Structures are given as structure tokens and as C-alpha cells.
Structure 1
Amino acid sequence: MVSIRLLLPLMVSCSVAASGQPPRHLPPCRVVQMDVFCSDQRLRSSPLNLPHAVQTLDLSYNQVQNLTEETLAYRTSFHHLNLHANKIHSIQAGLFKNMTDLKVLNLSRNHLSLFALSKIQIGPLTAVKSLDLSSNGLYTGMTDYFLSDSPSLETLSLSSNSITKIARNTFSGALSLSKISLHNNVILDIEDGAFESLDCLSELDLSKNSITCITDFNLCNLKVLNLSRNSMEVFQSSRSTQMFKLSRLDLSQNKMSYFPLLPRNNILEYLDISRNQLQTVNVTGSRERKVVLNHLRYLDMSYNQLRSLPESFFYCMGSLEVLNVSNNCLQAFSIVNRRVLQTVKTMDLSYNSLQSLTFGENALSSLEELFLQGNDLSILDHQVFQGRPSLRHLNLQQNHLEVCSSVHHQRDCVSFRSITNLQILNLSENGLRTLPANAFTNTPLEFLDLSLNPGLDMDVHSLSGLEPSLVHLLLKENNISRLNADLSLLRSLKHIDLSTNQLTALPLWNKESSIESLNLQNNNLVTLESSSMLALEHSLKTLYMGSNPLSCCSNLGFLHMVQHSTVVVPDIETVTCVLDDFSEPVNIERVTEEMCHQEKIQNYIIAVVLAALVVITTAVVLLKCCRSRKRKLNRSFSI
């Protein structure tokens, strides 16, 4: 009831409380029970008539400069105070002393470095649990004036400041801290013991700084550590045998040449060391320094310089589910032991220099996704993928593979038959020359990409066996002039891409077709068979037809479909046709049947005129011939 009675005067005061600023047309402050939201109102202070027991005040994106009791309308009942993105450079001493219920204080993106120069403390912050001081231009030593008396503080953000050093006593006034963000500073040095007194600390973000090494990591209670985007060359934990609670460690985008030396007893689940300078992984460490990673589920070593990755490296990773080693320099990869990586579900080996790939019998039995695109694979065991019963997604784009025919002893090819759960297969950019009959028998593909294989010769039965499963088929940029494979039998096919080929005729479809999306851009189609278009009309939803030399008057059925059906043609602006052999292309939307009728009439008239001219010309010629012959006869009989 209090908030309802105060709603109208508050709405008025929000629009005029800008202390000398001329009023402008802005939406009023929004009041929800005891919460007031006045973001982006050009205010220099809070509204005049705040509810007496206001709990939340949002003054973000305003023009507050001096933070005083008057600025906050002499209210002390706040639970949540948001002053983000103002111009605060002065804070009244002891302002927060009587705010015993204040839990969340956001002072980010202000000018608090000017306040810190006064060497006045803003505390005590007796009840504050979350404090945001990010983007304030603070540098080393200034944090003391904000943290010296914050006994309840749990979450602290000092990101995007100019701090260069974390001193031993930096957080001595906030011993309850559990989460600290120092992201995007210029930290070069961390004094010994700077974080050790924080027994509750579980998350520490030191990303995007200038830290060069960690040589004695000993924060046993820490659960999440982010050291990405530094200049780290070494990460080495202490030799302690104590159990470390660290579960997530991000060391990406550093300068490490060696695999990090992790705590011996750990429960690490997530490790990212991508975008470093790793050239090798050490698997010969001493027994007392040997690290077991039995809890590790995610390992990312992409974008390094690894040339080899021995199978023994994975012996201690009994729970690994995701392995990313893409964008390295691997030439061979082999997993023979069925007990190694037996829990891996996703493996990314893309964009290496792989020429050899070996999987032992029953190895990688849990593998669901395998990414091998961008390698040099050409000769593999022809049944290398058959022994992976869980495999459902296989990407072989940009390799040099050939597809085996039904003759299993054929060399230099890979078989894609009887991969029992494979649903997604990408064979684009492999230089495929032929696609034999029954190439995918007993493999329930839903998505098949055969694009960018110029000159691909498909057998009429290439796709046999995919009738009940195939939904997406991509055949773009194959330089196909005639499609041999019978697509009408693929009763589940909904999306097909035939763009950028040399097609002169549409594939045949029947009325049972379920095609919803068809891309025919950049072909040589002049006339679209009306039977095929009628067969598609009941299911087709999206059609791409741009950049084809269509004839306007030979495609009246297509014209009617475009103008009167629910089929969407996203590239309609590029779909043109010609009315006759000598006319300029016309956008298909501008063509009417009357134009074609007029064209027929004009052609008929022209034909009649031409015929008449031919008759008259012929008559004249015959007449001249007759007269000439008559003259000759007359001369012959003259005396």
C-alpha cells in the first residue's frame, strides 16, 4: 500500500530530480513493491520521494557525481544498490555504516580512482556480500580503501582496472571472500600468501593479465581458476600430497611449451590449454611426480604445435569425455588398446596433417562424434569406422578419401556400410570421383554432405538404403549436369542443396515427395518440368532459384507457384527470366501471363507477316521467271 500511495509523486520526481537539468521526455522510474528502477534518467541524485523502506534502488547509467546521504534521499534500508555507469568520484565518509541490510553494492564504471586519492575508506561494509568495483581506473594499493572492513564480503569484482600487483595484505579485510575477479588488469606480480588466508576462496579469475609463471600453486580449496590470456610460460603446482579441490583450470592463450605440472592428488574435470606453444607432452615423469587425471572429463589442447600424441599419454584419463586436439601438427594418431579413452564421446582431430589413423578392434566404444576435417587422409583401413558402435557424427571434409564399392577387398578406399548408428556424414571436398551403388547400406544417415567434389559420378543406386532415414542431402558445387541418383525414392528427404552445378533439368519427384527446402541456385535451368513442380508443391516451403537462365513463358506453372502459393523464395530478387531470345532478363515477380499471351500474339503476327512476305516474294520471283521465259520463247520463234 505504501508503494502504491507513493507511486504517482515518485513518477513525477523521477523526471524532475535532475538538479537543475531541464526536464526531458523520459519514462518515469518503475516501482515494483519496494524496488525502484531509475536507470538512464540523467539523474544527479535519487528521486525525492522514495518509498520509506525501499530495498532495491537502481540508479545505473545516470550522472551521479557525489555519493552522499542526500544523494540517496537519506534512506538506509537498501538491500541492493546499483550505481553502475555514473560519474562518482566522491563518497561521503561512513555513508554505508548504517546500511546494515545492504547485501549487493555495484559501483562499477565510475571514477573511484579519484576517490581513492583522498585515502578515505568507504567502510565499514558490515553486511555487503557482493561488491563490484570494476572499470574504475583503480591501480595497485587503492583497493585497501574499499576492502579494509568488509567482513561479510563473498563476491568481489576488480576487473578492468589497472592493478599491477596483488600484495600479501590486499584481501586481509575481507576474509570471507569466495569469488574474486581480477580479469583484465595488468597484474605482473602476486606476492606469496596473497590468497592463502582466504579459506573460503573457491573461484579466482586472473584472466587477461601479464602473469608470466605460477611455480608453486598451493590453493587446495580453490575449485575454479582462470589464467587464460596471460603470458604464462610455466604452471607448476606444489609437491604437496594434499587433495586439491580444483575442478576447472583454464590456461588457454598463454606461452606454455610444456604440459602443466598439475597437483598429484586432484579432482580436476576441465582443463583448457589451447592456444599455447605445446610441442610435446611429457609421459615419462618420476613416480613421485606422476599425476593421475581420473576425474578429467574435458581436455582442450587445440591450436598448439603438437607433432605427436602417444597412446600412453591417455592412460591416466579414465573418465575423459571430450578431447580436442584440433589445429596442431599431428601426422598420425593411434588408439589400439580398448581400455584407453573408452569413455570419450567427442574427439576433434581436425586441421592437423594426419596421414595415418588407426583404431584397434573395440577401441573407442563410446565415441559419438569424430571430427577429422582438414587433414591429409587418403589411405585408411577400409573398415576403420565400423567398430565404433556409438558413432553418430563423422566429419571427413577436406581429405582425399574414396568410397568403397561392395567389393570389400578393394584397396585405397573407406567403407561407410553398416556403421550402425551413424546419422551425420560430411564427405565434402574430398575429390571424390565416383559414388558406387549401395555406398551407405545399413547406415541410417540423416545428413549427408557430398558437396565440392567436382565431376562426381553417382551411380543410380548410390543412395540406396537411405530411403527411410535421409533428411538432408548436400550436392552443391559438383559440376553435375545430370543427376543419376533417383531422389524420388528417398521418402524422408526434406532438404536438398543442388546449387552451383550445371543442371539443365530437375530431378524427378513423385507426389509422395516430402521436400521442404530446395536450393537450385546457379544452374542452367531454362524450363522447370511442370510435373516435378506439381509433385513438390504440396510439401515445398522454401525454394532458391536465383541465377538460372529461365524462360518466362515456358514456366507459367512455376510463376503461379511463386505468386500464389505459400512457397517462400528468399532470393526472389535474383530470380529472373527472359520473354524471348533477344529480350533483357525480367524479375520473375514482374512477369504476368498476359505478357506471355501478348508475346504469343506478337509472335503470331510476326509469323503471319513473315509468311506473307515469303509468299509475295515467291510470287514476284515466279512472275519474273515466267516473263523472262516468255520473252525467250518469243525470240526463238521470230523470223
Structure 2
Amino acid sequence: MKCFKITKVFSIHYEKLHLSLVRIFNDKMQLLVLAIYLVGLFSSAAAVDCPIACKCRWIIDSLYANCSRRGLTSYPKFFNVPVEHLDLSFNNFTEFPRQYADMDSLLYLDLSGNRIANLEAEALIGFTSLRTLLLASNSIVDWSHINPNEAFKYAPSLKKLSLSGNSLGNFGGDVASEQLNSQSLNELDLSAAQISIVGGDVLINQLPNLQRLSLANNQLGQLTRLPSRSLLDLNLSNCSVQRLSPMFIEALHNLEVLNLSHNTALQFGWEEDLIVGLELRNLDVSYCNLDQIDLSGLPVLVEVRLRGNLLRSVDQYTFDNNTFLELIDLSRNVLRFIGNAAFNPLKRLKHLNLAYNEIAHLERNLISDNDVLLELNLSRNIIQKLTKIVSNSVRVIDLSWCEISIVESTALTGLSAIQRLDLSNNLISNFPSLMRSETLQHLNLANCRLSTIRNNSFSGFPELADLHLNGNRLINPIPPGHFRGNKFLDQIWLGDNPWICECQNPLFIEFYDYLTMKPAKLKDRHNLRCASPASYYGQLWDYACLSDWTVSARNSSGEKVWSTIMLCILGLGLLALMFGCFQKMMRKHKQRQNRREYNSNQEELQRIRDINERMLREESSATLQQQQEISLLPSYEDALRMPKLERPAKSMLDLSAAERNRKQLRRSQTQADGDNSAGEEELQLDTRQRFRSVEMLSNRDKERTAQYQPHRRTGYMEYNTQSGSRRLSIEESRFPAAHLKRQNLQSAEQIGNFQSYENSPYTKRKPKIAEIPPFKRVNIMADSVEFLTDPEYDSMGSKPGSPFAKRKPKVPTNLQVSAQVYTMEHNLPAAVQLDPAVEDYYSSGHKKAASTSTIASDFQEIAVPDIASLPDDDTRSNVSTSAAEIDLERGMRRKRKNSSTRRVSGNFSAAAAADSSSSASEGERSVPVHKPMRETLF
């Protein structure tokens, strides 16, 4: 209930706001239309160069110039302005404007209300297009002052002339100079022209085309024959005519309209004065104080107005000879009796007005024979009881102000086509409940004495659309169920009733909802006021119940349904909008993701292209540099002539180093342990320098490539402070270096699974130029140092000039290799005696000490049982042997060294080393062999 009242308050405020906006809008629209109109006037006046004293405006395609009531004494000038209607009325002009004769477009000229006293004979020369001339209310005192016989001949198009309000004296006299002469004139207005004499042949001779003549408001003391064959309309209203002779009407052969109203002393319709008009169709004798009338001489009469006379009765003989009558006005008479067959002969009667009479009773079949009657006006009579009236054609009946107090329930059953029934301002206190009409649409019960409405009061009117109940004595709300049978009811008037405003009453709220629910049925909402309680007296329903309905507002079931439907539609629309936005957002997100992925792929491709290009550039530069370095290396003959090395060399560049650099290198060397022999006190590299020389020389290309590519795919270079070497870090790399992919290298897994020397991939390896480190290349066109110094190639006959060509060392038949992986220890000895990089084969006594270095993956123990009888390196210097034995020993040693350098250092397990060592006999001697590290690091 509270929600209902709140909703009602909102609807009330909405209605008020709507009405206010409508009023404001209407006012604004009126102001806008007025502004447009004024702007149009101003623009039109400006466009046609209208004079200042006039207002010019266009109406369709005609230009109207209004110069009236300006107090002008001189006529305004119109230069090249196509004025058609010129209004110069009520000014102070004294002469006729002959200067407008050149205006061929002028059709209408109004000079009424001025001071023009005369009109010259040539005044209208040039006004060939003028059709209307108004000279009413001027200072003309005689016909001769306007030269009526000559002046109007020069206006051949003149149709209408008004001379009313002047002092002309007579019309149609015998003097020719005072007779109006115009062959084109159709309408002449001589009303209030102080004419007292009318007669003559002026109409048939001087005005042969005159159709309308007005002599109203003159004092016609003498009215003689006025013959005319063209006159159709004659107005003799208020002319003090007492008697109209039949000869006067007979002279007007084609007269159709005759107005004799307000001639209070007129004697009309007597036997000796019977008016006969065979063409007269419209007769008006209103307010002539006629108590009887005879219209038998007017057989074609269509409309007769007898309003304001003293007629007391109408019988079947009154309109017996007027069968063409369509309108009869008998209002404001003293009719008390209307015969049962008074209007039966009138088969064409459409409108019958009997208002303001003294009719007390209506015959049941009064209008039953009038099959085309549409409207019956019986208002302002003294009918106290509404009884049954029979008519199959009447649609509108007005019974207002008839003092009706009783309405029979069968009063409308005989009216089969009734649509409007007006019973307002009567004494009806009880409307019958069984009253029925299948065609009634408008029922007016305003200003009656109704206090209650029954549930079946209006149920018999299924077509009811307009109901007036205002001005009655209704105090309680009408249940909406009483209007259940009126499906077309859309206009209800309930104002000016003493309503009791019970704002909390559900019936009152329901009734108000029924009246104000869209579309609102209540049409006089501003008159719907409360009479009680006293606190609400005189207040509108909306304001009186506003305080109560604000606390607990309500809403009708229809409003709930519509609100639910609208909310559902709104929700569906919102969901559809959100779904569309989500789809659009997903499409955009997918487009952005695709674009981002495409850009990242393009960047990756571009980065790979840059890396490849840089690698190609580095390879080309490195190859060029190597070629340059190789080209500077000595030949084999030059190398033989070179002096003997006093110390081991870690690279070919070190061979050509200056003395100063060699001294710096000698300072970094250390002595061997005390258990070594004195013959091995030669300069040797320490552990750091030895490891660095081997790894750097074997991985020189890789280091040169890695130092320019600090990326994840290629790794980066780091310096080992303990071993003193640089190595390629692959701790965070997913793939090996790009330059390592293109080399035919063995994987770490294959190297880790190394089983024996015979299965090594490097056993029968043929060295390639790309894999030989730069320091081993002597000349690009010459043989390598390894090729020149390796005795294995002697059998092939590739070195016939070599001093070792005839040396064929004995190959051991049973060679067992035991490899052991050493790790770098933190506590290395101060000095480690290493093998020299290049061995002097020409020295007379070369002393080789056993190496005690433990560098990781650099040494192997080789058991040579066949040469166990040879003297050890430690005692070789003290034993005297022959030159052949010395050469054989040197060759075997060099062969072991060269074969060990060709092997790949692998990660051999300690178990394999143990197995290999256990398989050897006790008499075999273990010789540590240095195995350089090759390009197997990833």
C-alpha cells in the first residue's frame, strides 16, 4: 500500500509537470508562430520596399498592404510594389487617390472611414483591375457629389461597391445624374445611408448585373416597385417596413433570399397581402412580432426563420405547402401546443429548433415521420417528465434547462440512432438503472441533482464514450466496476461535486487510479476538489492527498505489469548491449594479440637475421685475418733453419715474440718440485698458463665469435680466475652457440659415453682446414705442421724430403688406454712442469721429465708393455745409447704425443679408469699423456 501511494504521488507530479510543459510548449509555440509571423511581415515589407506607414504581408500569392488607422493625410507611395489589397480606412484623406491608377495589380481598395466628400467623374480612370471599392462612412451627402452616372463607367472590373454610412437620401430617383450606372457591378451596399425612398427602374436599366442589394438600417417610408431580373438577395432588415405588397416581390423575378427581420410592425401573410415567390428559398422574418403566418405562397421554401415572434401553436396546416423545408427555427416564441402531425409533411426536414418556448409535453410520434431529421432542440422548455420519443433518424436531442425531474427508463428505446443526449441543468436526482441505448455515445448529466450512481446506471450504454457528471451532488467515490460495461468510455467530467476525500480509503484510491490511469479519463481535473474533511476543503484531490500518499505510495496492477515488461525489455536491451560490447572487446583484444605476436615474430626474425649477418661478417673477417696470418707464417725450410727454442711456446705468435715479452713470460714461470732431476729445470709454463694456452688455442674461433654475442642462444665469455682461462658459459643457454651448429661436432652425450680408443670418432679423423686452429697452419698452400712432423705419414710417401722419412717406429701391438677425469683443485702446486708446445728434434740430448700436473681432462695414462725395457726419462740423460736408439725413442714418444692430441678429451668415469688400469700387467709402466681440449664445449 505504501508503494502504491508513493507511485501515485510521482504520477501526480508527473501529470502536473506534463501539463505545465504542455502549457509552456503551447505558449512557446504561439510565441514562435507570432515571431515567425512578425519576421515574415518584416521580411516581406523589407523585400517589397513597403512604406513606413504601412504593413505589407503576403497571403498565398497576394500582397496585402495595411495602412489603416494611421492618421494619414497624404497617401503613401508604392514604387514598383505589386500591391493587390490596399487598406487605407479610418485615416484623414479628403480626396480620392488618383495616383494609384497606374497600379495594374490593385484589386481591392478600402477608403472607408475617411473624409472624402466628392468623387470626380474621371477619378477611376486607369483602375481597370479594381474589383472592390469601399467608400463607407465618408462625408458624401448627395448622389451628385460622387457622379454615379459617369465615375464608375471607367472601372470595368468593379464587382462590389459599398456606400453605407453616407447621406444619400434616396435610391432610384427620376434624375438621371443621380442614378448609379455600372455594367459590371454585382453587389451594392447601401445600408445605413439614410435612404427613405426606394423605387424606379435603376436596377433593370443602370445595374443590369446586380445580384445582391443591402438596404438594411434605413428608414424606408415608401417602398415601391423595384424591378430586376438579376437580383438574387435583398436585405430589408430593420427598415421599418410595415407592409410588403405582393407587387414588390413579383417584380423581382429571380429573388431567392429575402431578409425582413427586425421589422416589428410588419404585416405578413394575410389573405390580401399573401406573398408569392416562386423562386424564394430563404425567408427570415425573425423578431417581427408575428402571431400567425401563412407560407403557402412559397412552395420552394427551404429555410424559414421565425425566431423571436409571438407564435403560439403549430399545426398540420402551418407548413402544409412547404414540403421542401429543411430548416425550421421556431425558437423564442410562445409555443405551447404542437400538433401531432405538424411536421409530418416535411419529408426533408433536417433541423428543428423549438428552444425557448413553453412546451410542457411532447407527443410520442411528433417526429416519427421525419426520416431525415438529425437534430432536435427542445431546450429551455418546461418539460418535467421525459417520456418515450420515436424516431429512426434523429441523432442529437437537446433537453437542457427543461426542469426535467423524472426520466423514464424507456425514454430512449424509440430512438434507434441517438448519439448525443443533453439532459444538463435539470432536476434529475435519480437516473434510471434500466435505461438502454445501443448507439448513445455522449450523455450530459451536468448540473443536475444526482447523489448516487448505481452499478447498472450506465451498463445499458455499451457505446458510451463521453459522460458529464460535473455539478451534481456526488460525495462518495464511484467503484470502477460500475463502468465495466463501458469499454469505450474515455472522457469523464466529475468536477464541482462535494467529494469526501478519504485518502486512505482503498475505494477512493482505486477510483482515482481508474480516472488518472493512462490514458487519463478525467477531463476536469482542475475542478476536482474536496468538500470534506474541513482540513481539505476547497483543495484539489492531488494536493489534499499528497501528504498521505507520499508516506505510502501505491501502484496499480496494470502499472506493475507494464513496469515489469519495460524493465524486462530494458534488461534484455542492456544484456544485448553488453554482449555486443564484450564481443567487440574480444575481437579487439584478439587483433591486438595477433598484432603483438606478429611484431614479436618479426622482431625475432629480424634479430636472427642480424645475428646471421654479424656471424657472416665475422667469419669473413676472421677468415681474412687467418689468411693474412697464415701468409706470414714461415715455410718448412725456414722453420728448420730457425734457432732452437729455449722454452715451450704456447702459440705460434709466441715464437716471434720479442725478448722483452719473453722475459715477462719467464717471470711468471715457476720451478718444479725438488724430486725432479736437474736436467728438467728448463722453463715450463705453470698450471694456469698451460691450461689457458691449450684451451685458447683449440677454441680460438669459438672465443672470437662468443665475445661479440652476449646472448642466451650463444652464451657469454667468462674468465676463470683459478685456471686463468676463458671459456664459453652455457649455464643459461638452451641451445649451443649458433656457430657451433654448422660444425660437424660430436654431442656431449656421445663424448660422455666414450668406451674405448678404438671407438673414438677421432681415431681415423682426417683434419679439416676449418677445424685446425690458426696456430697450426703454416701456409695456406703448404702442408700443416702436424703433417710435416707426424711419422705416421711416412708410409704413405707424402714426405720424401723429411728427415723422418726413413724412420719407421715400431707400433705397439697391445695398447691400452686408461683415462681418468681430474677436477681442478683449489690448492695447486706452485709450479708444474709441462711439456713444451714444440719439441726440438735436433737437440743431442733431450730431457723429458714426467709431468705431475693434475689439470682436468688434460692427461691420460698409457701402458706400453713393448717399451718397458727402455730407460726412463729420469735416467735417460745418464745412459749412453746409440744414435739409432735415441731416434727410435724420440719417434715413439712423438707418435704417442701426436696420437694423444688427436683424441678428444671426454668425461671418463673413474670406474673405466680403474678397469683399464687393472687390466694392465704389473710390469707395465703408466705414462701421463697430455690431451688437449678440443671444441666440444657447449
TM-score (norm 1): 0.66
Q: Output the CA distance in 2 between the equivalents of 1:401 and 1:427.
A: 8
Q: Output the CA distance in 1 between the equivalents of 2:467 and 2:423.
A: 11
Contact preservation (8 Å) 1:65, 1:87: yes
1:182 aligned to 215, 225, 229, which one?
Answer: 215
Aligned to 1:324: 353
Aligned to 2:456: 438
1:336-355 to 2 correspondence within 5 Å? 336=365, 339-355=368-384
Q: 1:80-128 CA distances to partner (integer Å, 9 max, x unpaired)?
A: 4332332111222343356555433222232122x53658446252322
Is structure 2 residue 463 aligned with structure 1 residue 429? no
Q: Secondary structure of the equivalent of 1:91?
A: coil
Aligned to 2:844: none
Aligned to 1:63: 92
Aligned to 1:632: none
1:287-436 to 2 correspondence within 5 Å? 291-336=320-365, 339-359=368-388, 363-403=390-430, 415-416=434-435, 418-436=436-454
Q: 1:531 to 1:403 in 2, by over 3 A?
A: farther
Is structure 2 residue 474 aligned with structure 1 residue 451? no
Q: 1:481 to 1:338 in 2, by over 3 A?
A: same
Q: Output the CA distance in 2 between the equivalents of 1:228 and 1:110.
A: 27
1:139 aligned to 169, 177, 191, which one?
Answer: 169
Aligned to 1:513: none
Quick one: which amino acid aligns to residue 375 of structure 2?
T
Higher helix share: 2
Quick one: which amino acid aligns to residue 393 of structure 2?
S
Higher strand share: 1
Q: Secondary structure of the equivalent of 2:342?
A: helix
Q: Secondary structure of the equivalent of 2:421?
A: strand
Gaps of 5+ in 1: 1-6, 16-25, 407-414, 508-517, 540-639
Aligned to 2:680: none
Q: Output the CA distance in 1 between the equivalents of 2:125 and 2:522.
A: 67
Is structure 2 residue 139 aligned with structure 1 residue 111? yes
Q: Secondary structure of the equivalent of 2:531?
A: coil
Q: Secondary structure of the equivalent of 1:66?
A: coil
Stretch of structure 1 that moved more, 97-106 or 139-148: 139-148
Q: Secondary structure of the equivalent of 1:473?
A: strand
Report the Cα offset of residue 208 of structure 1.
3.3
Aligned to 1:465: 484
Q: Output the CA distance in 2 between the equivalents of 1:528 and 1:426.
A: 34
Contact preservation (8 Å) 1:434, 1:458: no
Report the Cα offset of residue 526 of structure 1.
7.6
Aligned to 1:154: 186
Quick one: which amino acid aligns to residue 425 of structure 1?
L
Aligned to 2:547: 527
Q: 1:28 to 1:503 in 2, by over 3 A?
A: closer
Q: Output the CA distance in 1 between the equivalents of 2:48 and 2:118.
A: 26
Quick one: which amino acid aligns to residue 438 of structure 1?
N
1:252 aligned to 272, 286, 305, which one?
Answer: 286
1:222 aligned to 247, 251, 255, which one?
Answer: 255
Q: Output the CA distance in 1 between the equivalents of 2:553 and 2:116.
A: 68
Quick one: which amino acid aligns to residue 176 of structure 1?
N
Aligned to 1:202: 232
Q: 1:260 to 1:123 in 2, by over 3 A?
A: farther
Quick one: which amino acid aligns to residue 547 of structure 2?
T
Q: Secondary structure of the equivalent of 2:341?
A: helix
Quick one: which amino acid aligns to residue 481 of structure 1?
I
Q: Output the CA distance in 1 between the equivalents of 2:47 and 2:465.
A: 63
Q: 1:101 to 1:474 in 2, by over 3 A?
A: closer
Report the Cα offset of residue 355 of structure 1.
2.8
Report the Cα offset of residue 297 of structure 1.
2.0
Report the Cα offset of residue 156 of structure 1.
0.9
Quick one: which amino acid aligns to residue 131 of structure 2?
K
Q: 1:196-230 CA distances to partner (integer Å, 9 max, x unpaired)?
A: x2211112222233223435344452222222233
Contact preservation (8 Å) 1:438, 1:465: no
Is structure 2 residue 199 aligned with structure 1 residue 167? yes
1:265 aligned to 287, 293, 299, which one?
Answer: 299
Quick one: which amino acid aligns to residue 372 of structure 1?
L
Contact preservation (8 Å) 2:326, 2:348: yes
1:474 aligned to 475, 493, 508, which one?
Answer: 493
Report the Cα offset of residue 141 of structure 1.
4.5
Q: 1:457-480 CA distances to partner (integer Å, 9 max, x unpaired)?
A: 676467333552222223334323
Quick one: which amino acid aligns to residue 278 of structure 1?
L
Q: Pick 1 or 2: higher relative contact order, CA cutoff 8 A, min separation 6.
A: 2
Report the Cα offset of residue 306 of structure 1.
0.8
Report the RMSD for the aligned CA atoms in angstroms.
4.2
- Structure with bigger gyration radius: 2
Q: 1:75 to 1:377 in 2, by over 3 A?
A: closer
Q: Output the CA distance in 2 between the equivalents of 1:241 and 1:501.
A: 62
Q: Output the CA distance in 2 between the equivalents of 1:34 and 1:449.
A: 47
Q: Secondary structure of the equivalent of 1:37?
A: strand
Q: Output the CA distance in 2 between the equivalents of 1:189 and 1:118.
A: 24
Report the Cα offset of residue 247 of structure 1.
2.8
Q: Output the CA distance in 2 between the equivalents of 1:101 and 1:451.
A: 58
Q: 1:461-510 CA distances to partner (integer Å, 9 max, x unpaired)?
A: 67333552222223334323258675344665242556354255999xxx
Contact preservation (8 Å) 1:306, 1:330: yes
Report the Cα offset of residue 404 of structure 1.
5.5
Q: 1:428 to 1:105 in 2, by over 3 A?
A: closer
Gaps of 5+ in 2: 1-44, 560-938
Q: 1:250-283 CA distances to partner (integer Å, 9 max, x unpaired)?
A: 22232111245253421x3322211222222253
Q: Output the CA distance in 2 between the equivalents of 1:396 and 1:136.
A: 50
Q: Secondary structure of the equivalent of 1:156?
A: strand
Q: Secondary structure of the equivalent of 1:530?
A: helix
Q: Output the CA distance in 2 between the equivalents of 1:232 and 1:533.
A: 72
Q: 1:323-374 CA distances to partner (integer Å, 9 max, x unpaired)?
A: 11111111111142774222211111011111354445xx311111111111
Quick one: which amino acid aligns to residue 263 of structure 2?
N
Aligned-pair identity (%): 23
Report the Cα offset of residue 232 of structure 1.
4.8
Q: Secondary structure of the equivalent of 1:435?
A: coil
1:123-134 to 2 correspondence within 5 Å? 123-126=150-153, 127=156, 128-134=158-164
Q: Output the CA distance in 1 between the equivalents of 2:229 and 2:46.
A: 49
Quick one: which amino acid aligns to residue 160 of structure 2?
S
Aligned to 1:277: 310
Q: Output the CA distance in 2 between the equivalents of 1:323 and 1:449.
A: 25
Q: 1:207 to 1:262 in 2, by over 3 A?
A: farther
Contact preservation (8 Å) 1:131, 1:157: yes
